[in-house]
Chains A and B, each alone.
Chain A
Amino acid sequence: MVRIYDPKERVQGYTIDELITTGNNSVAYSARSATGEKVFFKLYQSPSVRVPWYKPFVQHQAELKKRIEAGPCRQFCYKFLGGFEHERKFHQVFEFLDRSHSLAQIFDKIRVRPSAVSWEQRELMAKVLVAGINQIHGARIVHADLKPDNVMLIEDSSIGMKYRLKIIDMDFSFFTDKKAPWDGHEGYFGTPGYMSPEHMTNVVPSPASDVFTLGIMLYQLLAQGHPYPYDEAEKYLPAYRAHAAAPPKLLGVPKAPARGDVIGDVLHRCLHPDPTQRPTAADLHKALTGDYVPPPEDPGAASRRAEEERTRAEEAERRKKEDVERSREVIRLADDMKKRAEPDPPKPKDGEKLAPRLVLTAADGTSQSIGARVVFGRVVLAKFGDAARYATNEQFVIDRTGDEWFVEPCPNTPNDTMLNGALLVSRSKLAAGDTVSIGKAASKKTVLELTVRAE
């Protein structure tokens, strides 16, 4: 178990300010250095000092820092400030990106109000993001866990884009010219909805895998949205293999000399199931800036395109059938859960306090006790049963403020988080007897009902 640091606690010259998040591998805090500089302070749960790849991982972090600082990619990446071991745990400190928003937050914003970020700003963001990944690849690094949450935009009204872009969360990035320290011990991270076909088939990701994910993010930024907007993880791979994404429809006219048809073609090829057929990040950047010269087309290309169109149509038809079957399965599962549930769930007592620890109990009696902020996702929820697969990697967060506990839905989850059977839309206070579950507000079907009580 990792000890959670308290605010004002001092660790190797750093003073902890507050806990930011608890992830699968680490606990993150904001902290102050000895000189008063605000930093992003990470305590690693994995790797522990006992695993054979711990020391290689520590050396790997030093080399990552060196490669980033040595090349032009440093202006696109957050700064690694240093790492150290404390109480037999690895810690690492990064620059703190104040006044920043993740690209995921920007996507949420433009979903509600598309004009919140202009086409010109979106084009600039795309160019900087792709240029950054191109430079990272130039330093022989594969990011390997790209997603909108790992692209930060720092407010800066002095430039046309209004934000400066930084790529973060690179501690599990690895090198194209060396095996990752965890290779053979652990898998490669990825996030549902943003994983490449290589991630999903246990093939070591490559720069082309980053390009695949870049393609998905650029569809969201510049075109009609996520090219594979599925609720269920098992739908992705067949669609990826069929290259089922519709060609992008750009939301604006690219700045000359860039051309919409060239960008559209290159962007669609980013999602090619065969990594060797994808453009490089450099090609993608050239397409965005108008410097890309398409290779001459071979005579068989037209018939292959027609064949691809046919496959896409067949895949769409098959997916429609799967959707119907999946809905039936969700209803069956929800009915099963109801049958297994206790007839009389514990009733909340008025004014009962939940702190210092809170327990979540499933219908079959499986429970989990928590004492600090926890992000509940598919992995954490797996102990409560199969229905955890309806959760995303980050479905909801439970955390404590003073003596009170709160639950908050995570953005961009295909299935809703429900509180007492109603859609949870914002951070809400928890009381003993409340139930937190996953479902669809529209159909009122829920699974994985967890009852809250004090320990």
Chain B
Amino acid sequence: MAPATWTCPQDGTENPAAERRCLVCRHPNLPRVVVLRAAATGKEAVLTESVKFGRAVFAHRFADPDAVFAAELQFEIVRDEARVAWVVRPLPGAVNPTCYNGTPIGPAGVELADGGVISVSRSKLRLQVRFKKN
């Protein structure tokens, strides 16, 4: 079960779980680390800042045999402090669409959630999202 509150790492305030920012100091409640795990190989990438993903990353980092379905630059994962969210956004020029939980993503991108799945087309190069607080 998800906790009902989160503690602001800046000032120690207990905030309701639904609050994206600390009610006292406005510090964003954003997981520090995002882990992406390739469904096909079990290999992981650990992100602490914004990163662009393309064919080379799928081929080498995730060792996914379907890497050819990705464009040179397919999508980016962005730590968006204004939205207080990690966001996946497609990059222009990709032939196959980037999907999140099976739905193609528009140019504005979508916010990631723990357990969500990013893929190229509906079923290729599936990456499972996991958040880590520290």
The residues of A with any CB-CB pair to B shorter than 8 Å are 75, 123-124, 127-128, 131, 156, 158-161, 164-165, 285, 289-291
Contact = CB atoms under 8 A, between A and B. Distances in A.
A127 B8 contact: no
A127 B12 CA distance: 12
B26 A128 contact: no
28 contacts: A75-B13, A75-B14, A123-B25, A124-B10, A124-B11, A127-B11, A127-B24, A128-B11, A128-B24, A128-B25, A131-B23, A156-B12, A158-B9, A159-B8, A159-B9, A159-B10, A159-B12, A160-B9, A160-B10, A160-B11, A161-B11, A164-B11, A164-B12, A285-B24, A289-B25, A289-B26, A290-B26, A291-B26
SS of B interface (majority):
loop
A249 B58 CA distance: 54
Contacts of A289: 25-26
Nearest to A126: B25
* Chain B contact patch, size range: 10 to 19
Q: 5 closest pairs, A vs B, by CB?
A: A160-B10, A131-B24, A159-B12, A289-B26, A127-B25
Nearest to A130: B24
Contacts of B8: 159
Given A161-B11, A161-B12, A285-B24, 19 more contacts: A75-B13, A75-B14, A123-B25, A124-B10, A124-B11, A127-B11, A128-B11, A128-B13, A158-B9, A159-B8, A159-B9, A160-B10, A160-B11, A161-B10, A164-B11, A164-B12, A289-B25, A290-B26, A291-B26
Interface string B1-31: 0000000111111100000000111100000
A120 to B, nearest CB: 9
Nearest to A161: B11
A160 B13 CA distance: 11
Contacts of B9: 158-160
Nearest to A164: B12
Contacts of A161: 10-12
A124 B24 CA distance: 9
A156 B10 CA distance: 11
B6 to A, nearest CB: 13
A291 B8 CA distance: 19
B7 to A, nearest CB: 8
Interface string B39-61: 00000000000000000000000
A291 B22 CA distance: 13
Contacts of B13: 75, 128, 131
